[in-house]
Structure 1
């Protein structure tokens, strides 16, 4: 809990350098990503803003529908966010291009397939095709996970060149989600080197206990898209042998998505 609290404080502190909009968006992120509705005092404890300033900012966000309050005065994501997210998801060309390949991969493996895009040091889940036997896991469309301990995230990081990778991970704060999570930049860079060599990434219970996956990188020719596609399932069913068996299928899916990105989306600049 303390590590999550420190992450939120760091995000808000960095946002102070981006002006008013950055501060407001940091508050939206804080409330939207919280496990439970937040009281004003909860937000105040995570913010460097004066009480009066914070109250005004939250009031503006409520007026705009980006946040709302319940009967106890606690803050929740506003319905306008749902509308914006729905439109963004529906109109996302990359997701549309990738979708048939995700469905084919799910049909081939029977397990859950994810599409995630790299944003900073996090991976954002852009699409998810549930397996035949769905398993409760953290991933949901729109959720963010650390790139350093997820298959999709590590695959996307491997698509960066050495300079780009160093820039993203040099100041990374590592949180031990499980006993298998990377603890240092050196460990992560060694893993990335192995991922580049074999063309796929493995997550063997690094982010969630009992969850394993194999992923492959996706990169557009101009580098605007850095992403990954994965097959994920419970460790008792998704063995190391299964991950090795599915690796070629995941790599084929990633290559097919990249080919369609080239032919259907073309240059993005």
Structure 2
């Protein structure tokens, strides 16, 4: 039996209507077609497992297995009531697809940050369990924190990691904290004041200050940062640099929203 035949074959364990629904979206890869049914249902709003079964027409074990797999890959998340919802991975992919719009405005803003703070500046977005540097400018002399474009850094340390995790849904926030070098209280403080700092967290002798970049819906899609040696930036870098970094993040957020 081929994959397509399997996808379109009626099943005694599936609610009525499954075959007709799969017929409408058949791709020849049955498991993907069924996953698409689940995502289509969640596009309309949060669903319990029973609601997903009723909406998709899939068997309950199949629905549960696929929903858990999609959750593991962050295409699905859970709300506070335990219902399934569209996950953060879609926002990350949308960010990557629309990255050119952000980068068009980013270079002059990063250069201004460098000139006003004297420190290297970067923009990061989340990519799965890591963060990737998508734009950067560096000091031309003296000690500097050198992060090249394309560098992959851990989500377990650093002020940009704080920003990219702080506004996640509850479950993924808790998952992100399991191996992190910062605490839930740190993220509570980040959400309250709208910026983050780290000292000797990602690398000994290095500190950074970061702020969120948001899309038109208000979702955090990236983090803008400055970083440099503790000896130059001091042990409370946020007190001196947070207003400038936050202003840069807001400018880029507004620029994205205007496009």
Q: Same fold (TM over 0.5)?
A: yes
5+ residue gaps in structure 1?
Answer: 1-17, 20-87, 176-180, 265-269
**1:210 matched to which residue of 2?**
205
Equivalent pair of 2:123/2:225 in contact (CA under 8 Å): yes
Structure 1 residue 222: deviation in Å? 3.7
Q: Which whole-Å CA distance do the structure 2 matches of 1:107 and 1:260 have between them?
A: 21
SS in structure 2 at match of 1:206: coil
Q: Which whole-Å CA distance do the structure 2 matches of 1:122 and 1:97 have between them?
A: 24
Change (3 A) 1:215 1:140: same
Q: Which whole-Å CA distance do the structure 1 matches of 2:115 and 2:144 have between them?
A: 19
**1:166 matched to which residue of 2?**
171
Equivalent pair of 1:112/1:128 in contact (CA under 8 Å): yes
Question: Which protein is bigger by CA-based radius of gyration?
Answer: 2
Q: Which whole-Å CA distance do the structure 1 matches of 2:155 and 2:148 have between them?
A: 15
SS in structure 1 at match of 2:161: helix
Deviation string 1:140-162 (CA, Å, 9 cap, x unpaired) is: 211111223111121122233xx
Residues paired across the two proteins, number: 165
Structure 1 residue 136: deviation in Å? 5.6
Equivalent pair of 1:126/1:141 in contact (CA under 8 Å): yes
Equivalent pair of 2:209/2:225 in contact (CA under 8 Å): yes
Task: Give the counterpart of 2:112 among 83, 104, 111.
Answer: 104
Equivalent pair of 1:110/1:131 in contact (CA under 8 Å): yes
SS in structure 2 at match of 1:208: coil
5+ residue gaps in structure 2?
Answer: 1-30, 33-95
**2:230 matched to which residue of 1?**
235
Structure 1 residue 137: deviation in Å? 4.1
Task: Give the counterpart of 2:150 among 131, 134, 142.
Answer: 142
Please say which of residues 118-127 and 236-245 is displaced more in the overlay: 236-245
Structure 1 residue 99: deviation in Å? 1.8
Residue 193 in 1 paired to residue 185 in 2?
no
